[in-house]
Amino acid sequence: MTRFSFAGTSAAVIASATATLRACSDNPTEAGPQAFKGPQIAGGYGFACTEMVVGNANDLQELSRMSTEDALVNLPVALPNTEFVVPLPRVAPTTFYNRVGIIWPPQGHPPAAIYTSPYFDAP
């Protein structure tokens, strides 16, 4: 996974950017959306996790599932289907969702000749 990091950036530059962004807001004291990252689960040779972005009123703005490329390596090649349950962040506000499920049918499923290749299914 690729993430942008402020490591090595001076505190003055970060403080200046923060002050500038707050000055553009309708309400300079209002905090922006918050991101919460969930615990990692193993998958293949890598891992997966979720991330939630919630607004000021604890409204869910974004729900993402992220995984490393290695999570796609060494997945089962025979039945039965494998279901990965990726938990949501523990410290995030309560939402309608409580987890993200991903199903890996290694031989697809009926109807024949349509879904007969391995793929990820997110019900």
Domains in the chain: boundaries: 32-104
34 pairs with which residues across the strands? Answer: 54
pTM of the model: 0.65
The pLDDT assigned to 27 comes to: 52
Contact by Cβ (8 Å): 14, 6: yes
Two tokens at 45?
């040779």
Q: Please report the pLDDT score of residue 87 as a whole number.
A: 94
How big is the chain, counted in residues? 123
The dihedrals phi and psi of 98, each to the nearest 5 degrees, come to -125, -5
Backbone phi, then psi, for 25, in 5-degree steps? -80, 155
Say how many C-beta atoms besides its own lie within 10 A of residue 49's C-beta.
20
Q: What is the pLDDT along the chain (123 residues), one digit of tens a residue?
A: 433 222 333 333 333 333 333 444 455 556 789 999 999 999 889 999 999 999 988 899 999 999 999 998 998 888 888 889 999 999 998 888 888 998 888 888 888 888 888 888 877
